[in-house]
Amino acid sequence: MTLQMTQRERRRYRYRPKLSAASDWRLSERLPVVLALLAVLALLVAKRGAEWARGEIAGAWLIEVVVVTLAHGWISREAQRRERCLKLAFPLIALGMLGPVLVDPLMRSALGRGQTLDGLLLDGLGFATMGLAVFAFHSALRRLCCAGALFLTVFSCCLSSDPFVLAIVVVFAVLGVWWLMGSYWEGLQGKLAAESHEPLPRRWLFGLPAIVAAVVLLIPWNGRESLLTLWGFLPSSGGTGDFDEFARSGVNDGDLLVGAKDNARSFGPVESEIFMDSEQPSLYDVFNDTYGEPVRTKKQERAVALPAELLREAEQRMAESRTVGREFSTVRQPKAAKEKPVVTDIDGRALLHIKGRVPLHLRLELYDLFDGHEWLPMPDEKNPPLLSLRTIGEKPWIGFPQPTVMEVFAAEESHALKIHRIDTNRLPLPIGASRVHIDRIDRPDFFAITQPTIVRMTHERLPPQLVLHFVSRAQDESRLSNDFKYLSPSGDVRMLAVPVARRAAAVVRTPTSEPSERPDVGAWSTESVAREWTAGIASGWPQVRAIVNRLRDDYVLDKDAVIPADCDDPVGHFLFTAKRGPDFLFATSAALLLRSLGYPTRMVSGFYANPENYDARRQHTAVLPEDVHFWPEVYVGAATWVTIEPTPGFEVLGPPPTWWQIAWSAIVASAVFVVRHAVACSIFVIAATLSLTFRRRIAERVASWAWWLGVRRESRQLVLNTARLLERRGQLVGLARPRHCTPARWLRRLEPRSPDLVSLAQLVEWAEFAPTSSPLPIEPQSKEVCRRAIQRWTVQQLQQEVSRCPVHG
């Protein structure tokens, strides 16, 4: 050391070992970045090694290297920037962690590509580790970064046996040991403090988990169905009854056990148990249970005077459909005579379960002839179209003819039926169904077309516990509304002439009046009523909709309504006298009115899958015995029929809603809720706004009240309460006490000339730091000093002080 050395040079010379340590320090900051990038590379190779070329992996990794290196270098260059950017660390790392999970649903919907949950979590951990590497200048985040990198590397090593991954692991181990040694030596030099002096981002550290926890805890408050939304965060191919094609494997035994293919121990509607025999009640028992027994009229003279060719045709049809079809009378006996089944358990009473969107009209029987009392079933197809076998996704699907006019139907969607007890061999399918799948059934001759578009199995009845998948298209009414060119008033199918011809019969059978015993509906014609209801409305779908809406709006669904047994004209009685009745009268009325206007219409019986019976836990909709239903279908041309629903309370399934429609419906539902609870909502909004605006003043006022309530407390607590209240007031006017400033010093700085504040500062020092045995500095006046300080230094006074001397702020 020469005498010519400056002080600074001397100091540098003297601290040479420390400068060396300082350079190690910088290295120890950068090594975690290298470790994190190595871990990400290992993960990339382990996850994508089989799919991507080496060049693609290298490209992806280089992008990550550039981003992380630049961000780390830029942030850690300046101390002030470090402190500023550190506030963003937790949000960015959290975003990186959750990013893949949030993006994956979009990828699935947009590109049809998804990842397994563990893959998503690994990606999230990779992004979080890179985020931690960016902030590696912070000692705690640096250690977290190394821990994350170690986990990723170990996991990648377990995922893949690629030699490149092993090479990365070796390099990682060497660098990791180097980093540990450096950290150890720094610890010896006292450079790694046990605690950092940098403030913890408490707002993010505690606030965010608190919000998440609050939301999770509030979900059960909203009911059981909301609670079920928590279920399913772990995709599964089995165990929970759910199936996720992006799941890696099932919970526990997965598909095989659930499907009872491996080790069947239970009996249920699963695909391995098809064709098991069971004694089940008949479908028509269900009809009679629901609507009552049909009235068998003895007055044969009131029979419909059918033309001879129709009579013959009808008899023939009856003979043909003896095993599969049966007429349905609109005049039924009261149900009171028959005991209702005891409602104990929905699951136990369900005839079938549906998985998929509801409501759904499941068709079983078509009727075309109506004689005023009874609907007669349509004849079977004389030349039924051939069914085809298609293999989709290694599964056999039986396809049947599609409706010709596809424009009125939306995109395909799939449903599953689990049939428990229906004594029919017809498949309960909606009108837009195009193909069905039963596990392992790859023979089209197991199925046949009976009535048009009604598919049956060639067995005597549907096997109990049958699981049936079908693909269908929901009808899109908006397309009908816009363009109804298919609907021709004259019709272009000859077979529809029969129902149209019945119109004359119906009109001929206008009821005669017997005023004393039964209601007199007077002379009426379906056509005149229909014309009246559709006056001024363009022909086509608008007229159909007008009639349907009229019935839905002006008539009341009453399943227990009874038509007098001797009533000749149940439809007239329903339309003009009772104005209430069961669903088959709505459907019959709509069908007759539409026919009278020339729209080919037919009646359908089957099941209505009611959304109210949706079981959110099992994600199935139960179809119960009382869900038997009647509705009409109207012809829109080119062998295409659409469902219409004149019965109030029943809806036709529309196309799947778009995101926009879902959002809009949510908005509308919210708006409806707000309107219905206008007073409560207004009070809440006003109270919330006022509370938010004046939150600090309210808090200060509450604190002031609390202070006055506690004014009789012992001196030490009173002094501390006084200081806290003044601090709160100061905070309100922008004079918050810095965290490194003691309350006493803060009070003295507030107004050094104020004797009250100076005395209070002394008291605060005593209250906070004096031993318990230490006497009060100004005993007699202590309470008075506190009282004067509270009264003198109000929020307004502090505000004036700030305005008078802005340096305070």
Partner 1 sequence: MTVPINEPQTVAASTPGEAWSFEDHFGTVEALRQRLNGVLKGKTDVIEHVLVCLLSRGHLLLEDRPGLGKTTLAKALAEGIGGRFARLQCTPDLLPSDITGFSLFNQKTREFEFRSGPVFSDILLADEINRATPRTQSALLEAMAERQVTVDALRYPLSDEFFVIATQNPHDQHGTYPLPEAQLDRFAMKLSVGYPGDNHELAMLAEAIAPPPCEVPSPVFSPRQLRDLQQFVEGVAVKETVQTYLIQLAKATRSHADISLGISPRGLLTWQRAAQASAFLQRRSFVTPDDVQDVAEPVLLVRLAIESDDATRVVRSIMESVPVP
CB of 171 to partner 1, least distance (A): 29
Among 162, 198, 527, 727, binds partner 1 (CB under 8 A): 198
- Give the distance from CA 640 to its chain's centroid: 33
Using CB under 8 A as the binding criterion, the count of chain residues that bind partner 1 stands at: 39
Specify the stretch interacting with partner 1 by CB under 8 A; choose among 4-12, 143-151, 588-596, 639-647: 4-12
Q: Which is nearer to partner 1, 78 or 560 (CB)?
A: 78
- Could you tell me the smallest distance in angstroms from the CB atom of residue 193 to partner 1? 3
Give the x/- contact pattern for partner 1 in 95-134, rule: CB under 8 A. Answer: ----------------------------------------
Q: How far is the CB of 10 from partner 1 (least distance, A)?
A: 6
**Centroid of chain to Cα 104:** 16
Residue 127 Rama label (left phi>0; alpha psi -120 to 50; beta): alpha
374 forms bridges with which residues in the sheet?
329
User: Which lies closer to partner 1 via its Cβ, residue 135 or residue 555?
Assistant: 135
Q: Report strand pairing: 360-370 vs 628-637.
A: unpaired
Contact of 594 with 621, CB cutoff 8 Å: no
The window from 7-15, 153-161, 702-710, 715-723 that contacts partner 1 (CB under 8 A) reads 7-15
For residue 335, give every residue at least 6 positions away whose Cβ sits within 8 Å of its Cβ, in sequence order, or none. 289, 290, 291, 292, 560
Rounded to whole angstroms, the Cα distance separating 555 from 650 reads: 13
CA distance 30 to 35: 9
Tell me which stretch binds partner 1 (CB under 8 A): 366-374, 598-606, 612-620, 760-768: 760-768
* Beta carbons of 570 and 331 less than 8 angstroms apart: yes
Instruction: Estimate to the nearest angstrom the gap between the alpha carbon of 647 and the chain centroid.
Output: 29
Q: Which of residues 57-86 bind partner 1 (CB under 8 A)?
A: 79
- Candidate ranges 3-11, 87-95, 360-368, 544-552; the one touching partner 1 (CB under 8 A): 3-11
Candidate list 192, 208, 507, 674; residue touching partner 1; CB under 8 A? 192
725-744 residues in contact with partner 1 (CB under 8 A) are 738-742, 744
Give the nearest distance from C-beta 717 to partner 1 in angstroms. 16
Contact residues for 168 (Cβ-Cβ < 8 A; gap 6+) = 38, 41, 42, 45, 153, 156
Specify the stretch interacting with partner 1 by CB under 8 A; choose among 5-13, 124-132, 425-433, 544-552.
5-13
| 601 in Cβ contact with 646 (< 8 Å) | no
Interacting positions 604-633 with partner 1 (CB under 8 A):
none
Complex with partner 1: residue 59 or 199, whichever CB lies closer: 199
Residue 10 makes contact with partner 1 by CB under 8 A: yes
Structure tokens that stand for 443 in this block: 């023979």
* Smallest distance from partner 1 to CB 18, Å: 4
- One of 774, 791, 800, 803 touching partner 1 (CB under 8 A): 774
CB 624 within 8 A of CB 607: no
By CB under 8 A, tell whether 348 contacts partner 1: no
Residue 564 or 777: which CB sits closer to partner 1? 777
CA distance 16 to 26: 16
Give Cα separations from 304 to 390, 508, 510, 684 (angstroms): 46, 9, 11, 65
By C-beta, is 12 or 695 nearer to partner 1? Answer: 12
Among 255, 374, 407, 765, binds partner 1 (CB under 8 A): 765
Query: Stretches 535-543, 556-564, 652-660, 766-774: which one binds partner 1 (CB under 8 A)?
Result: 766-774
Cα 416 from Cα 358, distance rounded (Å): 11
Q: In Å, how far are 213, 608, 658 from 649, measured between CA atoms?
A: 39, 11, 24
Stretch that binds partner 1, among 196-204, 409-417, 507-515, 786-794 (CB under 8 A): 196-204
Distances (CA, A) of 119 to 43, 64, 104, 235, 432: 10, 18, 11, 12, 38
State which of residues 219, 562, 699, 770 lies at the interface with partner 1 (CB under 8 A): 770
- The CB-of-772 to partner 1 minimum distance in angstroms stands at 10
Minimum separation from the CB atom of position 200 to partner 1 (A): 11
Segments of 590-677 assigned E as strands: 601-609, 614-615, 620-623, 628-637, 640-643
Structural contact between residues 542 and 599, judged by C-beta atoms closer than 8 angstroms? no
| List 768, 787, 788, 795, residue binding partner 1 (CB under 8 A) | 768
The distance of closest approach from Cβ of residue 723 to partner 1 in the complex, given in angstroms and rounded to an integer, is 12
x/- string (CB under 8 A) for partner 1, residues 152-191? --------------------------------------xx
Measured from the CB atom, the residue of 121 and 192 that comes closer to partner 1 is: 192
Residue 21 found at the interface with partner 1 (CB under 8 A): yes
Contact 563, 329 (CB under 8 A): no
Least distance between partner 1 and beta carbon 139 (Å)? 7
Q: 3-state SS of 294-356? A: ECCCCCHHHCCCCCHHHHHHHHHHHHHCCCCCCCEECCECCHHHCCCCCCCCHHHHCCEEEEC
Q: Which of 109, 196, 388, 513 binds partner 1 (CB under 8 A)?
A: 196
Restricting to residues 22-51, name those near partner 1 by CB under 8 A.
22
Measured from the CB atom, the residue of 142 and 421 that comes closer to partner 1 is 142
Nearer residue to partner 1 within complex by CB, 198 or 255: 198
Query: Which lies closer to partner 1 via its Cβ, residue 381 or residue 765?
Result: 765
Task: Give me the least distance between CB of 190 and partner 1, in Å please.
Answer: 5
Classify 739 in phi/psi space as left (phi over 0), alpha (psi -120 to 50) or beta. Answer: alpha
Applying the rule CB under 8 A, the residues between 222 and 251 that interact with partner 1 are none
Q: Which stretch binds partner 1 (CB under 8 A): 96-104, 106-114, 194-202, 361-369?
A: 194-202
The answer for residues whose C-beta is within 8 angstroms of residue 790's C-beta and 6 or more apart is 704, 707, 722, 725, 726
Q: Which residue has the tokens 């780390």?
A: 72
149, 36 contact by CB (below 8 A): yes
Cis peptide before 359 (omega within 30 of 0): yes
Q: Could you give the CA distance from residue 629 to residue 631 in angstroms, rounded to a whole number?
A: 7
Q: How far is the CB of 745 from partner 1 (least distance, A)?
A: 5
By the criterion CB under 8 A, which residues form the site for partner 1?
3-7, 10-11, 14-15, 18-19, 21-22, 79, 139, 190-199, 738-742, 744-745, 765-766, 768-771, 774
